[in-house]
Amino acid sequence: MSSPTTVQKLAAEALGTFWLVLGGCGTAVFAAKSIAQDDDTGTSFQVGVGFLGVSIAFGLTVLTGVYALGHISGGHFNPAVTVGAALAKRFDWKDVPGYIVVQVIGGLIAGVVILVIAKGKDGFEAEGNMAANGFGDHSPSGYTLLAALITEVVLTAIFVIVILGATDTRAPAGIAGIAIGLTLTLIHLISIPITNTSVNPARSTAVAFFNGNGAPGQLWLFWLAPILGAVIAGILYPLVFAKGAGEPELDQIPNPPVPT
């Protein structure tokens, strides 16, 4: 079987990131706080999926994306994962820029789709309602810049370590997508109240400019912190958990799967 071409890999990364943003941010925009009304009493009540539903949605997008596209591109769907994989010698540095560019493009296209659909409801205002990440006044629960920074660095580092561990050649075959999807679900359960959960600069960029309301001005943190977390993981995993002298180098591992 022939290896995927560069174009196929880039297309898979764009599509996977599109799906992640559409599934995760789309759930947050359309379903998190849906309101219904009892026709008999006129009483309104919330039927939305809430934080739990959004967390599960992000986990499911990654799980399904990994199994559908991971064998083509490695299934990163996240610039932080791409950087972490390269540092861990699971991915070639020369391919990093292309992956990051298409990840951002795929996410932005998903952001446009969410916006167009959302505007199909009377009264929808994009400002402040596009599932953007933020800190301080723009944090869902008012957490500070420092709290947001620590949260995003630590959780991204853990996320990338799980990815590197689940896709290690010593790990059980075929379960990486499950481990990674469940980890992303847990990450969202922890951090939605703090930052609305990034751990992925492409996801943050995808909706920040449509959301406005301070999100574009805070976007720098949601690039810096996830990349820093990925750097920590990319250095730490090989240092602590490497096989040793017998571990194969990058060019000995054909298209190493590194999903996110």
Q: What digits encode the pLDDT tens for the residues 221-246?
A: 999 999 999 999 999 999 999 875 44
pLDDT attached to residue 251 = 38
Question: Which residues partner with 46 through β-bridges?
Answer: 35
Q: What is the mean pLDDT of residues 66-72?
A: 97
Using the Cα atoms of residue 79, residue 85, residue 89 and residue 90 in order, give the sign of their dihedral: negative
Q: Does residue 138 carry a pLDDT above 50?
A: yes
Q: Does residue 196 carry a pLDDT above 50?
A: yes
| Whether the Cβ atoms of residue 90 and residue 164 lie closer than 8 Å to each other | yes
13: confidence class by pLDDT, cuts 50, 70, 90: very high
Q: What is the mean pLDDT of residues 163-187?
A: 96
Q: Cα–Cα distance between 153 and 222 in angstroms, integer?
A: 9
pLDDT attached to residue 242 = 86
Name the residue among 114, 122, 131 with its Cα closest to residue 212: 131
Q: Cα–Cα distance between 246 and 8 in angstroms, integer?
A: 32
pLDDT attached to residue 38 = 60
Q: What is the mean pLDDT of residues 139-156?
A: 98
Q: Cα–Cα distance between 43 and 88 in angstroms, integer?
A: 55
252: confidence class by pLDDT, cuts 50, 70, 90: very low
pLDDT attached to residue 100 = 98
Q: What is the mean pLDDT of residues 70-86?
A: 98
How many CA atoms are closer than 13 Å to the CA of 253, on its beta-carbon side? 20
Name the residue among 5, 20, 46 with its Cα closest to residue 198: 20
Q: Does residue 260 carry a pLDDT above 70?
A: no
Q: Between the CA of residue 232 and those of 65, 76, 116, what are the distances in Å?
A: 25, 17, 38
Q: Does residue 16 carry a pLDDT above 50?
A: yes
pLDDT attached to residue 256 = 47
Q: Does residue 249 carry a pLDDT above 70?
A: no
Supply the mean pLDDT for the chain.
92
Counting residues of the chain whose pLDDT is more than 70, the rounded percentage is 88
Q: What is the mean pLDDT of residues 77-90?
A: 98
